[in-house]
């Protein structure tokens, strides 16, 4: 089995040492490099070819948000998981909009962080429905109306079935749960998700969820009793 290649990015050497020690015990994970600042990330990615980058948000020279945006704009970019001490802050939300696959709290139990790396490497976002709701609630504010108008314009590219799948993704359902809810096969769900990502030029399911929220699709779904 090929090991999952992980790059650690955090300005605190103790945090990096702890993460390295934690993941060193996993047979299927290999730490291929460490960085103390976002400025180092792109060169290290080129040199080490990680599958997953664990990215701290707050760093002195270049923060994790900027580094994430630069990485996710590249072809064949590695997946990014944000490391944070906060359950939901504006910077984490911005990182997710930039294409991060999710986030983990720094005080998360070691086994869960290892599992998060495995899930992201497999293409699954690391956000529970409860966390997604908190982030989406945090996103509401003065710019909500502008975001909604822009999101609705983008959502128009989807057909009715794709909109239903987007809503289900926004509710935090897995592919299997979406298949059961919408009476389709898991393979068909995966096809719809891939088409949604392509049509809307999105990176991952987290961004589908955020766009569905911004467009008001989740509210409409609740009003309809779904």
Read out DSSP for 9-78? Answer: E-S-HHHHHHHHHHHHT-TTEEEEEEESSGGGHHHHHHHH--SEEEEES--SSS-HHHHHHHHHTSTTPP
Average pLDDT, the chain: 85
Gap between the Cα atoms of 14 and 11, Å rounded:
9
pLDDT digits (tens, 9 = 90+) for 148-169: 888 899 999 999 999 999 999 9
- What is the structure's pLDDT at 142? 46
For the stretch 85-115, pLDDT in tens is 766 567 777 777 788 888 888 888 888 889 8
- The pLDDT confidence band at residue 83, using thresholds 50, 70 and 90, is confident
What's the pLDDT at 140?
57
Q: Which of 21-25, 32-36, 221-225 has the highest mean pLDDT?
A: 32-36
Residues 83, 84, 87, 91, CA torsion sign: negative
Q: Please, which pLDDT band fits residue 138 given cuts at 50, 70 and 90?
A: low
CA distance 128 to 118: 15
State yes or no: pLDDT of 54 exceeds 90: yes
Rounded to whole angstroms, how far apart are CA atoms 85 and 196? 32
Give the pLDDT mean for 16-30.
90
């Amino acid at each position: 089995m090929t090991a999952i290649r992980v790059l650690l990015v955090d300005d605190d050497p103790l945090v990096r040492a702890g993460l390295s020690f934690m993941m060193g015990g996993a047979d299927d994970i290999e730490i291929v490099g460490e960085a103390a600042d976002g400025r180092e990330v792109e060169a290290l990615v080129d040199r080490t070819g990680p599958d997953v980058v664990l990215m701290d948000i707050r760093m002195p020279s270049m923060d994790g948000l900027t580094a994430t945006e630069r990485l996710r704009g590249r072809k064949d970019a590695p997946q990014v998981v944000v490391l944070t001490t906060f359950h939901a802050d504006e910077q984490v939300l911005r990182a997710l909009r930039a294409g991060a696959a999710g986030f983990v709290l720094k005080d998360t139990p070691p086994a869960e962080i290892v599992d998060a790396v495995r899930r992201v490497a497999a293409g699954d976002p690391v956000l529970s429905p409860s966390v997604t709701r908190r982030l989406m609630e945090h996103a509401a504010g003065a710019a909500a109306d502008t975001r909604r108008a822009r999101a609705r314009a983008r959502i128009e590219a989807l057909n009715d079935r794709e909109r239903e799948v987007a809503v289900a993704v926004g509710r935090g359902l897995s592919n299997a749960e979406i298949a059961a809810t919408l009476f389709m096969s898991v393979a068909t769900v995966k096809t719809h998700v891939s088409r949604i990502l392509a049509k809307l030029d999105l990176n991952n399911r987290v961004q589908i969820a955020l766009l569905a929220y911004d467009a008001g699709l989740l509210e409409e779904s609740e009003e309809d009793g779904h």
